[in-house]
Amino acid sequence: MREIVLDTETTGLDPYQGHRLIEIGCIELLNRIPTGQVFHHYVHPDRDIPEEAFRVHGISLEMLKDKPRFHEIADDLITFLGDAPLVIHNAAFDMGFINAELERASKPLLDRTRMVDTLLLARRKYPGGSNRLDDLCLRYRIDTSRRTKHGALLDAELLTEVYIELIDARQTTLILVENGKTQDRTPQQVAASRIRPQPLPSRLTAEELAAHRSFIATLGEKTIWSGYAGDKEGPASGQTGVEVA
């Protein structure tokens, strides 16, 4: 299953009050494992960046002076996202900005049913607790030492780790390693079968065996069960070898 973990940085809180997207970072997951494929762009917002927003992400208008406008990267973004579910923390915020930008660029909007909101997942799993991304990283002991400011791609990387923990998918990323080499282990290697050297004695009494043979006789000569109603050395007696793990 393909999924995209996504985060954005913006000039403010509401796209319908003139605020714009200035950074987008996306990470591709395949079966909950990062593939190494990312989509990351800074975007010129065609407006100023308020001081309070700059304090959060540290992105200035000067830094964006040679960056593309959103409409110039829109098609590449749409292609990268494909039809994959979108894993986002506080998804309504990021989806609101992306769809506002897509609308300005006259592109199809993203369907909100694609959202996998990790904030909602965290609230269900830890009701009453603080479920900001920073708090979840602390809960799961995820290293945030690189995160001196918010950044879309870095936050998407952290969110990828948080998401895997939230849905208890960490086991899928574990690899058994011995002496630095990956070990392929099959069920036969884990629990090899062998034939019991001394068959177990039958638990059936002579009376039970006689009753069984009498019942089989009532089923007719061609019944397949007649082959299992032999003497005490046959399968009905329990004297055959048994595979044990």
Confidence of residue 148 (pLDDT cuts 50, 70, 90): confident
Average of per-residue pLDDT values in the chain: 85
Distance (Å, rounded) from C-alpha 119 to C-alpha 136? 10
What is the distance, to the nearest Å, from the Cα of residue 222 to the centroid of all Cα atoms in its chain?
A: 55
What is the distance, to the nearest Å, from the Cα of residue 122 to the centroid of all Cα atoms in its chain?
A: 15
Q: What is the pLDDT of residue 196?
A: 61
The residues near 193 (Cβ < 8 Å, ≥ 6 apart) are 243, 244, 245
Q: What is the DSSP string of 114-130?
A: GEEEHHHHHHHHSTTS-
Confidence of residue 224 (pLDDT cuts 50, 70, 90): low
Confidence of residue 119 (pLDDT cuts 50, 70, 90): very high
Distance (Å, rounded) from C-alpha 141 to C-alpha 189? 34
* Lowest mean per-residue pLDDT among 97-101, 191-195, 207-211: 191-195
Q: Residue 32 — left, alpha, or beta (φ > 0 → left; ψ -120 to 50 → alpha)? A: left
Per the annotation, the verdict on 212 as an active-site residue is no
Confidence of residue 176 (pLDDT cuts 50, 70, 90): very low
Please name each of the domains of the chain with its CATH number.
2-174 (3.30.420.10), 194-244 (no CATH)
Q: Which residue has the higher pLDDT, 57 or 224?
A: 57
Q: What is the pLDDT of residue 225?
A: 65
Which candidate in 57, 71, 150, 212 is catalytic? 150
Phi and psi of 173, rounded to 5°? -100, 0
Give ∠ CA 18-24-28 in degrees, rounded to 5: 145
What is the arithmetic mean of pLDDT over 57-70? 97
* Cα separation of the two ends of the chain: 34
Q: What is the pLDDT of residue 206?
A: 84
